[in-house]
Copies of this chain bind each other. A is one copy, B any other.
Amino acid sequence: MSVLDKIDFSKSADGLIPAITQDADSHEVLMVAYVNRAALAATLECGEAVYYSRSRQELWHKGATSGNTQKIVDILVDCDADTVLYLVKQHGGGACHTGNRSCFFRRIKADDLELI
């Protein structure tokens, strides 16, 4: 039995579960994406974060072209086994396609979005 059999991919029709990605050192949440069984298997295999791109509908080896790869330090699993948490070392400029280190660079303030 593989550890993949212990993860519950059944709660969405497309077999996707959220993957939260956190900097292993600073504990900053860098991004949230999705994985299916194949993406998680690929992540375990290559030791770098692989997601499933909902827009392109294919496996997405983060940073494969940009160099902004994410080396896996640990993968945590939640109580319901339907969410994974990637603890990573972020390489390159950052996790976000906007150039920000984290995708979470805005906060809700006074009924609007404000840059952090």
Contact = CB atoms under 8 A, between A and B. Distances in A.
A27 interface: yes
Contacts of A26: 27
Contacts of A85: 29, 104
A113 B32 contact: no
Contact of A76 (B44, B83, B106): B106
B77 A96 contact: no
Nearest to A31: B78
Contact of A104 (B3, B44, B77): B77
Contact of A113 (B11, B29, B77): B77
Interface residues of A, number: 39
A29 B76 CA distance: 10
A103 interface: yes
Given A54-B11, A104-B85, A112 B79 contact: no
B79 A98 contact: yes
26 contacts: A2-B111, A3-B113, A18-B32, A20-B20, A22-B29, A26-B27, A27-B27, A29-B29, A29-B76, A31-B78, A32-B78, A75-B107, A76-B104, A76-B105, A76-B107, A76-B108, A77-B106, A77-B107, A77-B113, A78-B104, A78-B106, A79-B97, A80-B103, A81-B113, A83-B103, A85-B104
